Protein backbone atom coordinates (compact mmCIF):
# COMPACT_ATOMS: atom_id res chain seq x y z
CA UNK A 1 0.00 0.00 0.00
CA UNK A 2 1.11 3.56 -0.61
CA UNK A 3 2.07 5.65 2.37
CA UNK A 4 -0.66 8.20 3.13
CA UNK A 5 -0.17 8.95 6.81
CA UNK A 6 1.99 11.70 8.27
CA UNK A 7 5.42 10.25 7.62
CA UNK A 8 8.50 12.51 7.33
CA UNK A 9 8.30 12.33 3.55
CA UNK A 10 4.58 13.14 3.41
CA UNK A 11 5.01 16.10 5.77
CA UNK A 12 7.85 17.59 3.74
CA UNK A 13 5.99 17.07 0.48
CA UNK A 14 2.89 18.81 1.85
CA UNK A 15 4.92 21.97 2.47
CA UNK A 16 6.36 22.16 -1.06
CA UNK A 17 4.77 24.56 -3.57
CA UNK A 18 2.54 22.65 -5.98
CA UNK A 19 3.63 24.76 -8.97
CA UNK A 20 7.30 23.97 -8.23
CA UNK A 21 6.51 20.25 -8.09
CA UNK A 22 4.60 20.41 -11.35
CA UNK A 23 7.45 22.26 -13.05
CA UNK A 24 9.96 19.72 -11.70
CA UNK A 25 7.86 16.81 -12.92
CA UNK A 26 7.63 18.39 -16.38
CA UNK A 27 11.42 18.76 -16.49
CA UNK A 28 12.06 15.05 -15.85
CA UNK A 29 12.07 12.29 -18.45
CA UNK A 30 12.00 9.70 -15.69
CA UNK A 31 9.25 9.10 -13.15
CA UNK A 32 8.68 10.87 -9.86
CA UNK A 33 7.29 8.73 -7.04
CA UNK A 34 5.40 10.44 -4.20
CA UNK A 35 4.27 9.13 -0.79
CA UNK A 36 0.69 8.72 -2.05
CA UNK A 37 1.73 6.54 -5.02
CA UNK A 38 1.22 2.78 -5.02
CA UNK A 39 4.90 2.25 -5.87
CA UNK A 40 6.22 4.44 -3.06
CA UNK A 41 6.82 1.76 -0.45
CA UNK A 42 8.67 -0.42 -2.94
CA UNK A 43 10.71 2.51 -4.26
CA UNK A 44 11.96 3.49 -0.80
CA UNK A 45 13.03 -0.04 0.10
CA UNK A 46 16.71 -0.89 -0.21
CA UNK A 47 18.88 -3.96 0.28
CA UNK A 48 19.25 -3.63 4.08
CA UNK A 49 15.89 -4.53 5.55
CA UNK A 50 16.76 -2.70 8.77
CA UNK A 51 16.52 0.67 6.96
CA UNK A 52 12.98 2.12 7.01
CA UNK A 53 13.02 5.74 5.83
CA UNK A 54 10.50 8.00 4.14
CA UNK A 55 11.76 10.36 1.43
CA UNK A 56 9.61 13.19 0.08
CA UNK A 57 10.14 12.25 -3.58
CA UNK A 58 11.95 9.43 -5.35
CA UNK A 59 13.24 10.54 -8.75
CA UNK A 60 13.81 7.63 -11.12
CA UNK A 61 16.34 9.29 -13.35
CA UNK A 62 16.51 8.41 -17.03
CA UNK A 63 19.72 10.37 -17.62
CA UNK A 64 22.01 13.12 -16.40
CA UNK A 65 19.49 15.85 -17.26
CA UNK A 66 17.08 14.34 -14.73
CA UNK A 67 19.83 14.33 -12.11
CA UNK A 68 20.49 18.03 -12.76
CA UNK A 69 16.77 18.80 -12.49
CA UNK A 70 16.53 16.90 -9.19
CA UNK A 71 19.58 18.61 -7.71
CA UNK A 72 18.32 22.06 -8.73
CA UNK A 73 14.86 21.37 -7.31
CA UNK A 74 16.26 20.11 -4.01
CA UNK A 75 18.56 23.13 -3.67
CA UNK A 76 15.81 25.62 -4.46
CA UNK A 77 13.43 23.98 -1.99
CA UNK A 78 16.01 23.52 0.78
CA UNK A 79 15.89 19.73 0.73
CA UNK A 80 18.66 17.18 1.17
CA UNK A 81 19.62 14.77 -1.59
CA UNK A 82 20.38 11.08 -1.14
CA UNK A 83 21.64 8.99 -4.03
CA UNK A 84 20.64 5.44 -4.85
CA UNK A 85 23.08 3.60 -7.07
CA UNK A 86 22.90 -0.07 -6.18
CA UNK A 87 21.28 0.72 -2.82
CA UNK A 88 23.71 -1.61 -1.02
CA UNK A 89 25.42 0.76 1.41
CA UNK A 90 24.91 -1.07 4.69
CA UNK A 91 24.17 2.18 6.57
CA UNK A 92 21.31 2.97 4.20
CA UNK A 93 22.63 6.26 2.80
CA UNK A 94 20.55 5.73 -0.37
CA UNK A 95 17.41 7.00 1.39
CA UNK A 96 16.82 9.75 3.95
CA UNK A 97 13.69 10.94 5.70
CA UNK A 98 12.14 13.93 3.95
CA UNK A 99 14.83 14.02 1.24
CA UNK A 100 14.89 13.80 -2.53
CA UNK A 101 16.18 10.38 -3.61
CA UNK A 102 18.10 10.55 -6.87
CA UNK A 103 17.50 6.97 -8.01
CA UNK A 104 19.98 5.91 -10.70
CA UNK A 105 18.73 2.32 -10.96
CA UNK A 106 17.67 2.73 -14.60
CA UNK A 107 21.03 4.30 -15.50
CA UNK A 108 22.92 1.02 -15.51
CA UNK A 109 24.69 0.84 -18.86
CA UNK A 110 28.34 -0.13 -19.38
CA UNK A 111 30.26 0.47 -22.61
CA UNK A 112 33.65 -1.13 -23.20
CA UNK A 113 36.41 0.37 -25.35
CA UNK A 114 38.64 -2.68 -25.84
CA UNK A 115 41.36 -0.72 -27.64
CA UNK A 116 41.66 1.90 -24.92
CA UNK A 117 41.05 -0.84 -22.32
CA UNK A 118 38.46 1.22 -20.49
CA UNK A 119 34.80 0.89 -19.60
CA UNK A 120 32.34 3.75 -19.14
CA UNK A 121 29.75 2.81 -16.50
CA UNK A 122 26.57 4.66 -15.50
CA UNK A 123 25.98 5.44 -11.85
CA UNK A 124 23.24 2.87 -11.29
CA UNK A 125 25.19 -0.12 -12.59
CA UNK A 126 26.04 -3.13 -10.46
CA UNK A 127 29.21 -5.19 -10.53
CA UNK A 128 27.32 -7.82 -12.50
CA UNK A 129 26.33 -5.25 -15.13
CA UNK A 130 29.98 -4.29 -15.59
CA UNK A 131 31.46 -7.79 -15.54
CA UNK A 132 28.95 -9.03 -18.12
CA UNK A 133 30.20 -6.45 -20.62
CA UNK A 134 33.92 -6.45 -19.85
CA UNK A 135 34.23 -10.25 -19.83
CA UNK A 136 33.12 -10.34 -23.46
CA UNK A 137 36.65 -9.08 -24.13
CA UNK A 138 38.43 -11.05 -21.38
CA UNK A 139 38.79 -7.86 -19.35
CA UNK A 140 37.79 -6.68 -15.88
CA UNK A 141 38.29 -3.78 -13.54
CA UNK A 142 38.94 -4.05 -9.81
CA UNK A 143 35.54 -4.02 -8.11
CA UNK A 144 34.02 -5.99 -5.23
CA UNK A 145 33.04 -9.62 -4.62
CA UNK A 146 29.20 -9.63 -4.78
CA UNK A 147 27.73 -9.04 -8.22
CA UNK A 148 24.58 -7.28 -6.97
CA UNK A 149 26.60 -4.48 -5.31
CA UNK A 150 26.39 -1.06 -6.98
CA UNK A 151 29.63 0.25 -8.44
CA UNK A 152 28.97 3.81 -7.22
CA UNK A 153 28.98 3.40 -3.45
CA UNK A 154 31.64 0.71 -3.61
CA UNK A 155 34.00 2.96 -5.59
CA UNK A 156 33.35 6.26 -3.83
CA UNK A 157 34.27 4.69 -0.47
CA UNK A 158 37.24 2.62 -1.71
CA UNK A 159 36.37 -0.74 -3.20
CA UNK A 160 38.11 -3.93 -2.05
CA UNK A 161 37.60 -7.17 -3.97
CA UNK A 162 39.26 -10.15 -5.60
CA UNK A 163 41.59 -8.00 -7.70
CA UNK A 164 42.71 -5.49 -5.05
CA UNK A 165 46.20 -6.83 -4.33
CA UNK A 166 46.95 -6.93 -8.05
CA UNK A 167 45.21 -3.79 -9.37
CA UNK A 168 44.33 -1.70 -6.32
CA UNK A 169 41.05 -0.34 -5.04
CA UNK A 170 38.11 0.28 -7.34
CA UNK A 171 38.78 4.01 -7.00
CA UNK A 172 42.42 3.49 -8.03
CA UNK A 173 41.14 2.24 -11.38
CA UNK A 174 39.12 5.37 -12.11
CA UNK A 175 40.20 7.28 -15.20
CA UNK A 176 37.49 9.93 -14.99
CA UNK A 177 34.02 10.64 -13.61
CA UNK A 178 31.07 12.84 -14.53
CA UNK A 179 29.56 14.45 -11.45
CA UNK A 180 26.66 16.84 -10.82
CA UNK A 181 27.54 19.20 -7.98
CA UNK A 182 25.22 21.17 -5.70
CA UNK A 183 24.94 24.14 -8.08
CA UNK A 184 23.60 21.84 -10.82
CA UNK A 185 26.80 21.94 -12.87
CA UNK A 186 28.00 18.80 -14.64
CA UNK A 187 31.76 18.40 -14.20
CA UNK A 188 34.15 15.91 -15.74
CA UNK A 189 36.93 15.17 -13.27
CA UNK A 190 40.15 13.29 -13.93
CA UNK A 191 43.87 13.45 -13.19
CA UNK A 192 44.22 16.52 -15.41
CA UNK A 193 40.75 18.08 -15.22
CA UNK A 194 39.11 19.35 -12.03
CA UNK A 195 41.90 17.56 -10.22
CA UNK A 196 40.82 18.63 -6.72
CA UNK A 197 37.32 17.25 -7.23
CA UNK A 198 38.76 14.02 -8.65
CA UNK A 199 40.95 13.70 -5.57
CA UNK A 200 37.98 14.06 -3.19
CA UNK A 201 35.60 11.81 -5.10
CA UNK A 202 38.10 8.97 -4.78
CA UNK A 203 37.31 8.11 -1.17
CA UNK A 204 34.97 10.96 -0.17
CA UNK A 205 31.91 8.72 -0.12
CA UNK A 206 29.61 10.79 -2.35
CA UNK A 207 29.88 14.00 -0.31
CA UNK A 208 30.49 16.27 -3.33
CA UNK A 209 27.71 15.43 -5.75
CA UNK A 210 25.99 12.78 -7.83
CA UNK A 211 28.42 10.76 -9.96
CA UNK A 212 26.47 9.85 -13.08
CA UNK A 213 29.25 7.91 -14.82
CA UNK A 214 32.55 6.25 -13.98
CA UNK A 215 35.34 5.47 -16.43
CA UNK A 216 37.56 2.60 -15.29
CA UNK A 217 40.80 1.11 -16.56
CA UNK A 218 40.55 -2.56 -17.56
CA UNK A 219 42.93 -5.50 -17.12
CA UNK A 220 43.31 -8.99 -18.53
CA UNK A 221 41.20 -11.20 -16.27
CA UNK A 222 39.36 -14.42 -17.08
CA UNK A 223 37.21 -15.57 -18.65
CA UNK A 224 38.17 -18.50 -16.39
CA UNK A 225 39.83 -18.26 -12.98
CA UNK A 226 40.42 -20.60 -10.07
CA UNK A 227 38.21 -20.15 -6.99
CA UNK A 228 39.36 -21.19 -3.52
CA UNK A 229 36.49 -22.03 -1.15
CA UNK A 230 37.62 -24.33 1.64
CA UNK A 231 35.98 -24.82 5.06
CA UNK A 232 37.55 -26.13 8.30
CA UNK A 233 36.29 -26.92 11.77
CA UNK A 234 36.88 -23.95 14.08
CA UNK A 235 38.87 -26.25 16.40
CA UNK A 236 41.55 -26.26 13.69
CA UNK A 237 41.85 -22.47 13.72
CA UNK A 238 45.40 -22.46 15.12
CA UNK A 239 47.08 -24.43 12.30
CA UNK A 240 44.83 -22.90 9.62
CA UNK A 241 45.57 -19.31 10.63
CA UNK A 242 49.24 -20.17 11.04
CA UNK A 243 49.29 -21.42 7.45
CA UNK A 244 47.45 -18.28 6.33
CA UNK A 245 49.99 -16.00 8.01
CA UNK A 246 52.85 -17.87 6.34
CA UNK A 247 51.12 -18.00 2.94
CA UNK A 248 50.55 -14.25 2.95
CA UNK A 249 54.29 -13.56 3.14
CA UNK A 250 54.97 -14.93 -0.36
CA UNK A 251 51.53 -14.95 -2.00
CA UNK A 252 51.60 -13.96 -5.69
CA UNK A 253 49.59 -10.88 -6.60
CA UNK A 254 47.48 -12.96 -8.95
CA UNK A 255 46.03 -14.59 -5.83
CA UNK A 256 43.84 -13.12 -3.11
CA UNK A 257 42.32 -14.87 -0.10
CA UNK A 258 39.82 -13.73 2.52
CA UNK A 259 39.67 -15.75 5.74
CA UNK A 260 36.36 -15.75 7.60
CA UNK A 261 34.51 -17.49 10.39
CA UNK A 262 30.90 -18.58 10.07
CA UNK A 263 28.49 -21.36 10.95
CA UNK A 264 28.29 -24.27 8.52
CA UNK A 265 25.19 -23.84 6.35
CA UNK A 266 22.60 -26.60 6.05
CA UNK A 267 23.49 -27.46 2.46
CA UNK A 268 24.18 -30.81 0.84
CA UNK A 269 27.70 -29.68 -0.08
CA UNK A 270 28.57 -29.92 3.64
CA UNK A 271 28.47 -33.03 5.88
CA UNK A 272 25.17 -33.08 7.74
CA UNK A 273 26.97 -33.67 11.03
CA UNK A 274 28.71 -30.30 10.70
CA UNK A 275 25.59 -28.21 10.01
CA UNK A 276 25.38 -25.26 12.36
CA UNK A 277 28.89 -25.72 13.78
CA UNK A 278 31.35 -22.81 13.97
CA UNK A 279 33.84 -22.96 11.11
CA UNK A 280 36.76 -21.12 9.57
CA UNK A 281 36.96 -20.81 5.79
CA UNK A 282 39.01 -19.38 2.94
CA UNK A 283 37.44 -17.58 -0.01
CA UNK A 284 39.70 -16.35 -2.78
CA UNK A 285 40.85 -16.66 -6.35
CA UNK A 286 43.88 -17.15 -8.57
CA UNK A 287 43.99 -15.45 -11.96
CA UNK A 288 47.31 -16.79 -13.24
CA UNK A 289 47.95 -20.03 -15.14
CA UNK A 290 45.26 -22.36 -13.79
CA UNK A 291 47.74 -25.24 -13.80
CA UNK A 292 49.56 -23.39 -10.99
CA UNK A 293 46.52 -22.90 -8.78
CA UNK A 294 46.88 -26.15 -6.85
CA UNK A 295 50.51 -25.35 -6.02
CA UNK A 296 49.62 -21.80 -4.95
CA UNK A 297 46.78 -22.79 -2.63
CA UNK A 298 48.02 -26.18 -1.42
CA UNK A 299 49.57 -24.80 1.81
CA UNK A 300 46.17 -23.43 2.80
CA UNK A 301 44.13 -26.47 1.82
CA UNK A 302 46.54 -28.82 3.61
CA UNK A 303 46.60 -26.78 6.83
CA UNK A 304 44.04 -29.19 8.34
CA UNK A 305 41.41 -31.67 7.18
CA UNK A 306 38.68 -29.62 5.47
CA UNK A 307 35.00 -30.00 6.29
CA UNK A 308 34.41 -29.26 2.63
CA UNK A 309 36.53 -28.08 -0.28
CA UNK A 310 34.43 -26.47 -3.00
CA UNK A 311 37.41 -25.05 -4.89
CA UNK A 312 37.96 -25.32 -8.62
CA UNK A 313 38.09 -23.52 -11.97
CA UNK A 314 35.11 -21.37 -12.90
CA UNK A 315 34.11 -18.40 -15.00
CA UNK A 316 35.10 -15.05 -13.50
CA UNK A 317 31.48 -13.87 -13.60
CA UNK A 318 30.51 -16.95 -11.55
CA UNK A 319 33.22 -16.18 -9.00
CA UNK A 320 31.80 -12.66 -8.69
CA UNK A 321 28.30 -13.99 -8.00
CA UNK A 322 29.21 -16.92 -5.69
CA UNK A 323 28.12 -15.01 -2.57
CA UNK A 324 25.02 -13.31 -3.98
CA UNK A 325 22.59 -15.75 -2.35
CA UNK A 326 24.14 -15.06 1.05
CA UNK A 327 23.13 -11.39 0.91
CA UNK A 328 19.50 -11.22 -0.26
CA UNK A 329 17.41 -8.08 -0.38
CA UNK A 330 15.44 -7.56 2.82
CA UNK A 331 17.73 -9.39 5.23
CA UNK A 332 18.89 -7.18 8.08
CA UNK A 333 22.54 -6.10 8.10
CA UNK A 334 24.96 -4.26 10.37
CA UNK A 335 28.63 -4.35 9.34
CA UNK A 336 31.47 -2.65 11.15
CA UNK A 337 35.22 -2.72 10.55
CA UNK A 338 38.67 -1.88 11.86
CA UNK A 339 42.11 -2.10 10.24
CA UNK A 340 44.93 -4.24 11.64
CA UNK A 341 48.68 -4.13 11.29
CA UNK A 342 49.02 -7.79 12.29
CA UNK A 343 46.90 -10.92 12.75
CA UNK A 344 47.92 -11.67 16.31
CA UNK A 345 46.83 -14.54 18.53
CA UNK A 346 44.68 -12.01 20.37
CA UNK A 347 42.83 -11.23 17.15
CA UNK A 348 42.28 -14.92 16.42
CA UNK A 349 41.01 -15.61 19.95
CA UNK A 350 38.62 -12.66 19.74
CA UNK A 351 37.27 -13.79 16.35
CA UNK A 352 36.65 -17.36 17.51
CA UNK A 353 35.02 -16.28 20.74
CA UNK A 354 32.61 -13.91 19.03
CA UNK A 355 31.84 -16.44 16.30
CA UNK A 356 30.82 -19.02 18.88
CA UNK A 357 28.63 -16.42 20.65
CA UNK A 358 27.04 -14.96 17.51
CA UNK A 359 23.27 -14.51 17.98
CA UNK A 360 22.67 -15.27 14.28
CA UNK A 361 24.07 -18.24 12.38
CA UNK A 362 24.08 -16.06 9.24
CA UNK A 363 26.71 -13.68 10.63
CA UNK A 364 30.40 -13.87 9.76
CA UNK A 365 33.66 -12.30 10.88
CA UNK A 366 36.05 -11.54 8.04
CA UNK A 367 39.82 -11.09 7.89
CA UNK A 368 40.83 -9.28 4.72
CA UNK A 369 44.37 -9.47 3.36
CA UNK A 370 45.11 -6.07 1.79
CA UNK A 371 48.35 -4.31 0.86
CA UNK A 372 50.41 -4.63 -2.35
CA UNK A 373 48.85 -2.49 -5.13
CA UNK A 374 46.61 -0.71 -2.62
CA UNK A 375 49.54 0.24 -0.39
CA UNK A 376 51.72 1.43 -3.29
CA UNK A 377 49.55 4.52 -3.76
CA UNK A 378 50.44 7.24 -1.27
CA UNK A 379 47.88 8.10 1.40
CA UNK A 380 47.47 11.69 0.15
CA UNK A 381 47.18 10.83 -3.55
CA UNK A 382 43.43 10.22 -3.10
CA UNK A 383 41.03 10.91 -0.25
CA UNK A 384 41.24 7.25 0.81
CA UNK A 385 43.58 7.25 3.82
CA UNK A 386 44.07 3.72 5.23
CA UNK A 387 46.27 2.30 2.46
CA UNK A 388 49.13 1.31 4.70
CA UNK A 389 47.09 -1.24 6.67
CA UNK A 390 47.76 -4.84 5.57
CA UNK A 391 44.60 -6.34 7.11
CA UNK A 392 41.00 -5.46 7.91
CA UNK A 393 38.68 -7.10 10.44
CA UNK A 394 34.99 -6.87 9.64
CA UNK A 395 32.02 -8.01 11.73
CA UNK A 396 29.07 -8.87 9.47
CA UNK A 397 25.90 -9.13 11.52
CA UNK A 398 23.22 -10.64 9.27
CA UNK A 399 19.81 -11.72 10.60
CA UNK A 400 16.17 -11.99 9.44
CA UNK A 401 13.90 -10.68 12.21
CA UNK A 402 13.41 -7.10 13.46
CA UNK A 403 12.93 -8.36 17.04
CA UNK A 404 16.59 -9.39 16.97
CA UNK A 405 17.99 -6.02 15.87
CA UNK A 406 19.46 -4.97 19.20
CA UNK A 407 21.22 -8.20 20.05
CA UNK A 408 22.84 -8.47 16.61
CA UNK A 409 23.89 -4.83 16.37
CA UNK A 410 25.34 -4.98 19.88
CA UNK A 411 27.26 -8.16 19.03
CA UNK A 412 29.04 -6.42 16.15
CA UNK A 413 29.60 -3.17 18.02
CA UNK A 414 31.02 -4.91 21.05
CA UNK A 415 33.30 -7.07 18.94
CA UNK A 416 34.75 -4.12 17.03
CA UNK A 417 35.03 -2.06 20.22
CA UNK A 418 37.07 -4.84 21.79
CA UNK A 419 39.23 -5.16 18.68
CA UNK A 420 39.91 -1.41 18.69
CA UNK A 421 41.49 -1.79 22.11
CA UNK A 422 44.26 -3.88 20.55
CA UNK A 423 47.55 -2.15 19.78
CA UNK A 424 47.40 -3.47 16.21
CA UNK A 425 44.01 -1.84 15.40
CA UNK A 426 42.96 1.56 14.04
CA UNK A 427 40.61 3.33 11.65
CA UNK A 428 37.61 2.01 9.74
CA UNK A 429 36.33 1.42 6.20
CA UNK A 430 33.59 3.54 4.63
CA UNK A 431 31.77 0.60 3.06
CA UNK A 432 31.56 -1.26 6.39
CA UNK A 433 30.59 1.72 8.61
CA UNK A 434 27.96 0.44 11.02
CA UNK A 435 25.36 3.22 10.87
CA UNK A 436 27.96 5.97 10.36
CA UNK A 437 28.12 6.64 14.08
CA UNK A 438 31.92 6.97 14.32
CA UNK A 439 34.06 10.14 13.98
CA UNK A 440 35.11 11.17 10.48
CA UNK A 441 38.78 10.94 11.32
CA UNK A 442 38.43 7.16 11.71
CA UNK A 443 37.70 7.04 7.98
CA UNK A 444 39.74 9.90 6.57
CA UNK A 445 42.69 10.37 8.91
CA UNK A 446 44.89 13.32 7.94
CA UNK A 447 42.96 13.79 4.67
CA UNK A 448 39.93 15.06 6.58
CA UNK A 449 40.75 18.79 6.57
CA UNK A 450 41.31 18.82 2.80
CA UNK A 451 37.95 17.07 2.38
CA UNK A 452 36.30 19.77 4.50
CA UNK A 453 37.82 22.41 2.20
CA UNK A 454 36.35 20.65 -0.84
CA UNK A 455 32.96 20.30 0.85
CA UNK A 456 32.99 24.03 1.58
CA UNK A 457 33.75 24.77 -2.09
CA UNK A 458 31.39 22.34 -3.82
CA UNK A 459 28.57 21.81 -1.30
CA UNK A 460 28.57 24.66 1.26
CA UNK A 461 24.92 24.05 2.26
CA UNK A 462 25.29 20.25 2.65
CA UNK A 463 22.86 19.35 -0.08
CA UNK A 464 24.58 15.94 -0.09
CA UNK A 465 24.87 14.65 3.50
CA UNK A 466 26.21 11.31 2.19
CA UNK A 467 27.56 9.49 5.26
CA UNK A 468 27.36 12.66 7.39
CA UNK A 469 31.08 12.63 8.11
CA UNK A 470 32.21 15.66 6.09
CA UNK A 471 30.73 19.06 6.98
CA UNK A 472 31.57 22.39 5.32
CA UNK A 473 33.31 25.06 7.30
CA UNK A 474 31.03 27.56 9.01
CA UNK A 475 31.09 31.08 7.59
CA UNK A 476 33.25 33.43 9.62
327-359 pLDDT, tens digit per residue, is: 999 999 999 999 999 999 999 999 999 999 999
pLDDT tens digits along 170-199: 999 999 999 999 999 999 999 999 999 999
232 and 115 share a domain?
no
413 and 274 share a domain?
yes
205 φψ region: left (φ > 0), alpha (ψ -120 to 50), beta (else)? left
Say what the pLDDT of residue 475 is. Answer: 72
Angle at 28 between CA 24 and CA 29, to 5 degrees: 160
Distance, in Å, from the CA atom of 366 to the CA atom of 360, rounded to the nearest integer, reads 15
Q: In the sheet that 210-217 helps form, which strands lie side by side, from edge to edge?
A: 110-113, 118-122, 210-217, 174-180, 186-190
Say what the pLDDT of residue 4 is. Answer: 55
pLDDT surpassing 50 at residue 265: yes
Residue 196 located in a structural domain: yes
Say what the pLDDT of residue 140 is. Answer: 98
Of 194, 220, 246, the one marking the end of a domain is 220
Say what the pLDDT of residue 263 is. Answer: 98
pLDDT surpassing 70 at residue 290: yes
Non-local CB neighbours of 265 within 8 Å, separated by 6+ positions? 275
Say what the pLDDT of residue 474 is. Answer: 84
What is the distance, to the nearest Å, from the Cα of residue 231 to the centroid of all Cα atoms in its chain? 25
Say what the pLDDT of residue 6 is. Answer: 87
Query: What number is the average pLDDT over the span 15-31?
Result: 95
Say what the pLDDT of residue 1 is. Answer: 39
304 and 407 share a domain?
yes
418 and 366 share a domain?
yes
pLDDT surpassing 60 at residue 476: no
pLDDT tens digits along 392-451: 999 999 999 999 999 999 999 999 999 999 999 999 999 999 999 998 889 999 999 999
214 and 230 share a domain?
no
Containing structural domain, residue 276: 224-426
Residue 177 located in a structural domain: yes
Nearest to 354 by CA among 234, 259, 267, 271: 234
Query: What number is the average pLDDT over the span 92-106?
Result: 97
CATH number at residue 394: 3.40.462.20
- The DSSP secondary-structure symbol of 472 reads P
The average confidence (pLDDT) of the chain is: 96
176 and 234 share a domain?
no
Q: To 10 degrees, what angle do helices 237-250 and 345-356 make?
A: 130
User: What percent of the chain is predicted at pLDDT more than 70?
Assistant: 99
Distance, in Å, from the CA atom of 433 to the CA atom of 394, rounded to the nearest integer, reads 10
382 and 235 share a domain?
yes
Query: What number is the average pLDDT over the span 62-66?
Result: 98
Amino acid sequence: MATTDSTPGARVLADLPSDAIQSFEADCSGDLVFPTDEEYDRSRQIWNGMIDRYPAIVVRCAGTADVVAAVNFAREQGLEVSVRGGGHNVAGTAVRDGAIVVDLTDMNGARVDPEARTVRVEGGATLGDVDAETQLFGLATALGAVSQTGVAGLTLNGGYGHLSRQYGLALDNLVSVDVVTADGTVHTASADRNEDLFWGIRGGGGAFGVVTSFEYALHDVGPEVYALFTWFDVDDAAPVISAYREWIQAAPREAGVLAFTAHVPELEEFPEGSWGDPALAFFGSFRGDLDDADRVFRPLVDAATPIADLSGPMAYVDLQSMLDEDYPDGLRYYWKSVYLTEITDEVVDLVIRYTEDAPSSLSTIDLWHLGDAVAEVSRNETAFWHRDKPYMLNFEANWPESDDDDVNVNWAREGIAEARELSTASGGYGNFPGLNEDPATQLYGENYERLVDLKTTYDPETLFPANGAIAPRAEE
